[in-house]
């Protein structure tokens, strides 16, 4: 399988090159040369397959024969050691719970898959790899924990100072070992810009063997398709069309869902649900994409003003706005609406939403106003305890904290303050790797 750059379809590389480069030299994002429909037999037996079996077949379809089957099996078994249950919240409204992994967030799937894949290529190439990752919250913790003590790798996490929850911060700043945290004076968009600038800097790229663990890396998107198939496998009522609402920030999760549909998964529509950082819903209304500085909200992992994966959304639809807008509805919601949703769902259905899941729930309910005959699924992307103060204040009820999160909270935070100036980062990175 070859992968092309969204900026130049003639620029094609192997899986290994796409994963190790992260970002194409022309700043494009890599996409599979072809996304084939899976055979009817696969879908006929979908509900009978294990999550691991689903993951293997889907990954194989997107990766071809670039990695030995026994190695892929090992990576899939490492990636999927926890479930993604579909929980009915109210009639025909389901939560796909993606927070049952080690860091209690959906990004555990992508981070663990990527660590297995990069570990394989590091051994194959006999070369150490430096993973540079920007986070607005959950990516940093998932990647740091997935790569902790993985031989041949070093992880550097850039995060916006004061703009992630304490639980999220503790999950990556307390680990030590091969994990380093840089606390950036700025926004997530500044962190993401610094990462992209680092990849495009020839000196750094050659010196440090840099790659990315953000959703700009195609290896992060591939495993995110798995749980869309797992969700549909769990739907009992097969005679209604399915709509999935995706709480969206950098839009990797929605892109993975659209790739799943391209592989034949019977999802009729998607809802791109955002907080006030609504550049994509705005585009779906106006056909104008206007990146801007992100605003801080209680759903902080979605505080993105210039989502990287917008390029992949356009690419999937050959820049045809009509086709894209026919399958995606965009919605935006304020913090007040998000709090109200958490309160209402807990009061009426005894179900606890985190702020991101609440945005997804709101988007789904907005869609169902005019499409009542659908089975609706929203993604619950993180455990409510990761945002305990916000959630408890909204629902006026105590949230149980999982033991593994309590363990993180007892750790000592260790981070290095940096500005959002690239020259400072360029000077710092080689000294970190040399330590």
Tokens of 388: 């305990």
Rounded Cα distance between 148 and 347, Å, is: 40
3-state SS track over the chain? CCEEECCEEEEEECHHHHHHHCECCCCCEEEECCCCCCCHHHHHCHHHCCHHHHHHHHHHHHHCCCCCHHHHHHHHHHHCCCCCCEEEEECCEEEEECCCCCCCECHHHHHHHHHHHHHHHHHHHCCCEEEEEECCCHHHHHHHHHHCCCCCEEEEEEEECCCCCHHHHHHHHCCCCCEEEEEECCCHHHHHHHHHHHHHCHHHHHHHCEEECCCCCHHHHHHHCHHHHHHHHHCCCCCCCEEEEEECCCCHHHHHHHHHHHCCCCCCEEEEEECCCCHHHHHHHHCCCCCCCCCCCCCHHHCCCCCCCHHHHHHHCCCCHHHHHHHEEEEECCHHHHHHHHHHHHHHHCCCCCHHHHHHHHHHHHHHCCCCCCEEEEEECECHHHHHHHHHHHHCCCCCCCHHHHHHHCCCCCCEEECCCHHHHHHHHHHHHHC
Catalytic: 323? Answer: no
CB 349 within 8 A of CB 67: no
Rounded Cα distance between 270 and 321, Å, is: 15
Of the residues 40, 49, 107, 205, only one is catalytic, namely 107
Taking each helix axis from N to C end, the angle separating 226-234 and 51-63, rounded to the nearest 10 degrees, works out to 140
433, burial (CB in 10 Å: exposed 0-12, middle 13-18, buried 19+): middle
Active site residues: 107
């Amino acid at each position: 399988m070859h992968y092309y750059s969204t900026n130049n379809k003639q620029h094609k590389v192997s899986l290994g090159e796409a994963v190790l480069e992260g970002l194409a030299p022309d700043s494009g994002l890599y996409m599979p040369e072809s996304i084939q429909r899976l055979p009817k037999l696969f879908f006929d037996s979908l509900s009978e397959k294990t999550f691991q079996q689903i993951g293997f077949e889907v990954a194989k379809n997107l990766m071809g024969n670039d990695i030995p089957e026994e190695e892929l099996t090992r990576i899939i078994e490492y990636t999927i050691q926890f479930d993604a249950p579909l929980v009915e919240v109210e009639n025909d409204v389901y939560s796909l719970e993606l927070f049952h992994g080690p860091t209690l967030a959906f990004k555990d799937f992508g981070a663990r898959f990527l660590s297995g894949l990069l570990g394989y290529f590091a051994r194959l190439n006999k070369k150490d790899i430096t993973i540079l990752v920007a986070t607005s919250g959950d990516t940093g913790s998932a990647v740091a924990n997935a790569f902790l003590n993985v031989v041949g790798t070093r992880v550097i996490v850039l995060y916006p100072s004061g703009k992630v929850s304490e639980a999220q911060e503790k999950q990556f700043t307390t680990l030590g070992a091969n994990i380093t945290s840089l606390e950036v004076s700025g926004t997530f968009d500044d962190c993401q810009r610094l990462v992209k600038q680092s990849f495009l800097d020839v000196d750094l790229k050659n010196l440090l063997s840099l790659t990315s663990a953000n959703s700009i890396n195609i290896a992060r998107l591939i495993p995110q398709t798995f749980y869309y198939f797992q969700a549909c496998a769990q739907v009992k009522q097969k005679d209604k069309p399915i709509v999935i609402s995706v709480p969206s920030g950098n839009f990797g999760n929605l892109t993975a869902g659209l790739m799943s549909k391209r592989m034949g998964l019977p999802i009729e529509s998607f809802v791109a649900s955002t907080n006030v950082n609504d550049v994509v819903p705005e585009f779906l209304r106006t056909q104008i994409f206007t990146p801007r500085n992100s605003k801080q909200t209680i759903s902080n992992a979605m505080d993105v003003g210039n989502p990287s994966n917008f390029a992949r959304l356009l690419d999937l639809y050959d820049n045809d706005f009509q086709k894209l807008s026919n399958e995606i509805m965009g919605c935006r919601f304020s913090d007040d609406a998000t709090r109200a949703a958490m309160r209402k769902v807990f009061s009426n259905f005894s179900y606890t939403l985190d702020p991101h899941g609440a945005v997804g729930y709101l988007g789904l309910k907005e869609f169902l106003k005019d499409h009542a005959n659908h089975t609706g699924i929203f993604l619950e992307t993180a455990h409510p305890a990761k945002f305990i103060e916000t959630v408890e204040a909204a629902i006026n009820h105590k949230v149980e904290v999982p033991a593994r999160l309590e363990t993180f909270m007892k750790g000592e935070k260790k981070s290095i303050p940096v500005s959002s100036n690239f020259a400072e980062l360029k000077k710092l990175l080689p000294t970190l790797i040399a330590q």
